Amino acid sequence: MVITLSQLSPGNRGRIHNILLSGQIRNRILDLGFTPGATVKSIRRSPLGDPVAYEVRDTLIALRAEESSQITIAEEELS
């Protein structure tokens, strides 16, 4: 099922499907390792819910909902 990264519950992981951002912010997100095909895991939400910490390519990165809602992922089933 394809969802946005912002919809990924803490503890779950998915594979990046598409990045709908453009311009400098898209380049920055790609530089941080959020590339199509990369596995990303939602680690924890801040107390107010934004930003959210994600693990991608063995790095912990916090993204605001503004950016994470523009990244689509295929959620992986928990086993």
pLDDT tens profile 20-44: 999 999 999 999 999 999 999 999 9
All structural domains of the chain with their residue ranges: 2-75
As a CATH number, domain 2-75 is: 2.30.30.90
Q: What's the pLDDT at 64?
A: 95
pLDDT at 79 over 60: no
Q: What is the pTM of this model?
A: 0.89
Q: List all residues 6 or more positions away from 16 whose beta carbon is below 8 Å from its beta carbon.
A: 5, 34, 35, 36, 37, 38, 39, 40, 71, 72, 73
Q: Which of 47, 19, 50 is nearest to 32 (CA)?
A: 19
